[in-house]
Structure 1
Amino acid sequence: MLSTLSGIEQLVSYYYTPSLREEVPSPWGLPSHLDDALIVSNRLASIVEKACSLLQNGENIILVGEPGTGKTTLLYAIWRRLWDEGFNIALLREGAPIGRHHEERGFYLFFDDLPEAPELADMISRVGAKGIVATARVTEWSRLKPRTRGSFVALDVPRMSEDEVRSVLVNHLVRLSIPYSEEAIEEVVFRAEGLPVYAWTVVRDLQVKKRSLTLEAAKNMPRAMLDYVEQVIASTLLQDGRALPGAYCCLASLYCLSAMRGRRAHADHLHEIHRFASSLMREEVGDRPDPGLFASMRTYLVRDPELMAYKLPHDSWADILEGKGSGPVSVYIDDIRNILTEEERRNILESSFMRAWDRALSDYERDPSGNADRALSLAYLGLINFKAQLIGLKEIVEEFRDRKLSLVLRNLMRSL
């Protein structure tokens, strides 16, 4: 009986099936309207077809490409194809020990950015799990163990053609009712250099600022993706090339966020990260936090409703925050990186998480039902990052044992 219960627990904890297809884009950092804007050209359709065929032949698939080529969007296109055809598909969850129960039940599992979870990648190869589709940047994929890489069939995701980028850009603009000129479209397509993420970043920036896509605006956009992301950050945090009050605090907070697994943090944790980082920036450079400025910067982050988390919009944001930019923001990021050693950044993340946990636990004790999901999601993101012992978590997991995250947390707590 105990072994049967253990098997059932493992089954339902290492993967989960969203009830609606529309729930999938948000955890992967994709726009919620993607179904209406998704373009699958003949060339991309052939990759989807090949991936589905390999999956049904018992292979694992890794979609590999340089940053911004649309790997995650292609992952969703494969998901949508299998969903529409009635296959059993689910999301692979980090933190729980993976098994092969999903194969017995005919499930295919999906995971975005596999190198961000190296333990999971290694476990897939060790147990011989099949039927998994994931994504990876070229450089990060090459750093994983040869045995891990050998467990997957790699499919290259190249840059898009100009026609494909044009279709992506126009579809997003139309879906979000953002006015544009044909001349501006051509200018953006030229500057995108085959990267669909450039097109989406342009659209997202226009959406946040409530602006139209004009030819003048398009001509002022940098051509390289990193330069454009840096311009987006600069337009919010700088004025005439100088940091606005609170800018150091915002950048230090984002710099800490970039070190988290999946570059995401629970909303409560992010709030505390900003408090801790702001305290340090006040001491080191005399900056003071501006809640309004931080809120403006946060509008660019992607919200994951299931985990109540915020994540960086794209890997290119992390690249900028890790010092790979060359524009006006890079000067301030260099300052922050000189102030915050890796150890100090880790200390901020851990200390702010424990503060967030104390607050969440206090709120839970006042209103258990109203705060259980909040506490469980905070604990999950904390444990996959810090492996911390959390006072009160065991009692919450037992009280709400029927929640999906409770099963994962039970496995995580056993591994501590």
Structure 2
Amino acid sequence: MYIYQLYKDLTLKLSREMHVKLDKTFAEAIPSGMYEYIGELIQTSIVNRQGGKSMLAALKTVAILKTKTINSLHLAQLYQTLCEKLGEKPNWDLYNQTHTLLIYDPKEMTLRFPHDTWIDVLKGKSSTLQPTLNLIDNVIPDTEKLRLAKISGEETWSRKYADITYLKERGALTQRDLMQALLLAETLKMNFQNIRLFGLEEIENYKI
């Protein structure tokens, strides 16, 4: 999509000036075009939909996490938490669509941004998104976002731990179930140094 945006900019310049040269000045202007392109993409695909402000807040939270990645289960819980905070109803169709916009690693069960430019945009580089981001930041400052991310991470873990112990008691626990729990714990520990993951040592000793 970045090449397409560059193509559009070059085509527009050619139509106006009858010639085009990819010089230093033009090259330096490209990043701002990328910021606006991504800002408009997020605005139309996410923010303008029901529950969109909360999803934008969730993405901003991921952008300020230590690893800039999040477990997919954690993102769902974080989104629900932020919906409660911002007075929106969760839109799970929007969650699924956002999932497809991000890069999903099935081995790690993590989501990350397609490009670092997304992180810059979520930190205010796009004039399109900046008003909504400012509104969100006034209600939920970055320090509060990180606190809510940690709390929602602990809640996500508690639910996963309950699922694992339930399956274990009934002899239905699979290696895949166990691996999903351990991957969740690993990602949470990378993002939050002092996060409380009750029962992790117990699960680590499970034999399948």
| TM-score interval, smaller chain | 0.7 to 0.9
Residues 203-240 of structure 1, C-alpha deviations (whole Å, 9 max, x = no match) = xxxxxxxxxxxxxxxxxxx97110110111122135xx
Q: Which residue of 2 aligns with 1:375?
A: 181
Equivalent of residue 351 in structure 1, options 151, 162, 182? 151
Residue pair 2:83, 2:89 contacting (<8 A) in 1 also: yes
1:279 aligns with 2:84: yes
Distance 1:189 1:297 in 2: 30
Give the partner amino acid of 2:154: M
Of structures 1 and 2, the one with the larger relative CO (CA 8 A, separation 6+) is 2
Q: Secondary structure, in 3 states, of the residue corresponding to 2:101?
A: coil
Q: Secondary structure, in 3 states, of the residue corresponding to 2:70?
A: strand
CA positional deviation for 1:288: 2.6
Residue pair 1:254, 1:321 contacting (<8 A) in 2 also: yes
Distance 2:34 2:207 in 1: 44
Question: What is the root-mean-square deviation in Å for CA atoms of aligned residues?
Answer: 2.7
Distance 1:314 1:345 in 2: 22
CA positional deviation for 1:383: 0.8
Q: Which residue of 2 aligns with 1:57?
A: none
Mark the CA change 1:351 to 1:185 in structure 2 (over 3 Å): closer, same or farther. Answer: closer
Mark the CA change 1:392 to 1:225 in structure 2 (over 3 Å): closer, same or farther. Answer: same
Give the partner amino acid of 2:184: L
Distance 1:311 1:251 in 2: 14
1:313 aligns with 2:122: no
TM normalised by structure 2 equals 0.78
Distance 1:251 1:267 in 2: 16
CA positional deviation for 1:320: 1.4
Distance 1:396 1:314 in 2: 35
* Residue correspondences, number: 184
Structure 2 alignment gaps of length 5 or more: 13-21, 24-30, 168-172
Q: Secondary structure, in 3 states, of the residue corresponding to 1:245?
A: coil
Q: Which protein has the bigger strand share?
A: 1
Q: Secondary structure, in 3 states, of the residue corresponding to 2:89?
A: coil
Equivalent of residue 224 in structure 1, options 24, 27, 33? 33
CA positional deviation for 1:293: 2.1
Residues 362-401 of structure 1 aligned to structure 2 (within 5 Å): 362-367=162-167, 368-369=173-174, 370-387=176-193, 388-399=195-206
Q: Which residue of 2 aligns with 1:340?
A: 140
- Sequence identity percentage: 24
Q: Which protein has the bigger helix share?
A: 2
Residues 60-139 of structure 1 aligned to structure 2 (within 5 Å): none
The structure with more radius of gyration? 1
Distance 1:318 1:363 in 2: 33
TM normalised by structure 1 equals 0.41
Question: Where has structure 1 moved over 6 Å in runs of 4 or more?
Answer: none
Mark the CA change 1:395 to 1:189 in structure 2 (over 3 Å): closer, same or farther. Answer: farther
Distance 2:136 2:105 in 1: 27
Q: Which residue of 1 aligns with 2:73?
A: 268
Residue pair 2:67, 2:190 contacting (<8 A) in 1 also: no
Q: Secondary structure, in 3 states, of the residue corresponding to 1:399?
A: coil
